[in-house]
Homo-oligomer: A and B are copies of this chain.
Amino acid sequence: MAKVKKQPRPKAITPKGFRDYFGEEVSQRSEMLRAIAGVYHHYGFEALESSAVETVEALGKFLPDVDRPNEGVFAWQEYDESGNGDWMALRYDLTAPLARVYAQHRNDLPNPYRRYAMGPVWRNEKPGPGRYRQFYQCDADTVGTASMAADAEICAMLSDTLETVGIPRGDYLVRVNNRKVLNGVLEAMGLEAGDVKRDDVLRTIDKFDKVGEAGVRELLTKGRLDASGAFIDGVGLSDNQAAPVLAFLTSKGVDAAKTLANLREAVGSSTIGAEGVGELEQIGDLLAAGGYGADRIDIDPSVVRGLGYYTGPVYEAELTFEILDEKGRKRQFGSVSGGGRYDDLVKRFTGQEVPATGVSIGVDRLLAALREKGRITATPTGPVVVTVMDRDRMADYQLMVAELRNAGIRAEVYLGNPKNFGNQLKYADKRNSPVAVIEGGEEKDRGVVQIKDLILGAKIAENATHEEWKERPSQFEVARGDLVAKVRQILAGQG
């Protein structure tokens, strides 16, 4: 007879590339999002929360095909008896949904429309160390205006936001560049719109951060040996032809006026180039009028990230302090936010060009930076734990907890099996409790409670020979009526 096969137990694991966030990781992110939302709101931006799910049609970009419907996004087909249900997908950023929302509701929205959005997005990509398939974005965009005042405003807001969440002035820099200036440079080089070499040049410029000026020069001309020894073909420009691109990338001067003059030279007689330099000048003037100096926001043509994607100004916020990488080497913390102007946001839906500009903050990187700098404490204080010495007197312990909570003190009663008192103290330890409260039958009879200062206790244990600690008691007996006052005193650090 065949044995009835037992159903195997499901594995308790997250899907590949996903993770869980616990305790303070969650609270700290919430607090940061709240602080950022506060700045955005103060600037007149309105919250928008679109659904996590969009039609694949509306998301665009990643159209499903039968063989591999979920390239880049997580997508599925809506059930429908005919088998012709719509394809739906999880959003991969907050910009594509903004385009859909704006096209759908444009008659009801104020114009221009300033909106912010924050929440998880999903990418169907191969996960790697520290690279997850669900992560937070935090965006602010202004839709419906071509005014450089919108771009300047977003740069100012980004600067204010970084200072608000705890990055002091001097530890960050918002750098601004402009795609039109680059287009002007390409025009000045004789590479007109449509020339395939333009894309080659753009792709090469993207590597400027990595390979530097000399590397880009090689890649634009005859090619280059990379670090692994492989030869990378060059674009095939002559040294003369490559010169304007390099002039553009290195045109940062001692001040904005000098930088703008260098750029004007680089774009030569190109109209679009002159327009781009003019835009940078406008942004600079508006920011100067608002009191934002080059120590906070600077025009810097070496910003290349996003130049391929955006159509006008491009901005990036970098943290400039140094951290130690996983190999113990010093390096700059780097970019925590980027954005720019893109003018084809809703054209897909309506046929109409609508100018827009916006920024996205990498919340998790920003949190990592604050933790790195010690601006967020890693192990915060847990609740006061009221231990259970006599399980029949649970009501007594609940009353203590209620008193502590009513006094504004985070507190809980031990809810596990109270038999082993050691387990209760281990539990308090795992909870990072600052204080444990103990009331056995004998204490109850005498109208007192024992209060253990666990933070001090831990310090004493660590420095057992240290005279200062040895002399201080870490456990106190107080009258039951003084419970709240004594706990409050310990929490205030006054033993």
Contacts and interface: CB of A to CB of B under 8 A. Distances in A.
A412 interface: yes
Interface stretch (A51-59, A200-208, A223-231, A366-374): A51-59
A27 B111 CA distance: 21
Interface string A401-413: 1100100001111
A47 B22 contact: yes
Interface stretch (A171-179, A243-251, A265-273, A282-290): A282-290
Interface in A373-419: 382-383, 385, 394-396, 398-399, 401-402, 405, 410-413, 415-416
Interface residues of A, number: 103
Contacts of A394: 147, 149, 286
A5 interface: no
B13 A430 contact: no
A405 B413 CA distance: 46
Given A11-B57, A41-B27, A415-B150, A402 B291 contact: yes
Nearest to A21: B49
Interface in A5-63: 9-16, 18-27, 30, 34, 37, 41-44, 46-55, 57-58, 60
13 contacts: A10-B349, A11-B58, A12-B100, A14-B50, A18-B53, A23-B46, A44-B383, A44-B410, A70-B79, A110-B431, A153-B412, A288-B395, A290-B402
Interface of A: 9-16, 18-27, 30, 34, 37, 41-44, 46-55, 57-58, 60, 68, 70-71, 74-76, 78-79, 86, 88, 90, 100-101, 103-105, 110-112, 114, 120, 122, 124, 133-134, 142, 144-145, 147, 149-150, 152-153, 156, 285-286, 288-291, 346, 348-351, 382-383, 385, 394-396, 398-399, 401-402, 405, 410-413, 415-416, 427, 430-431
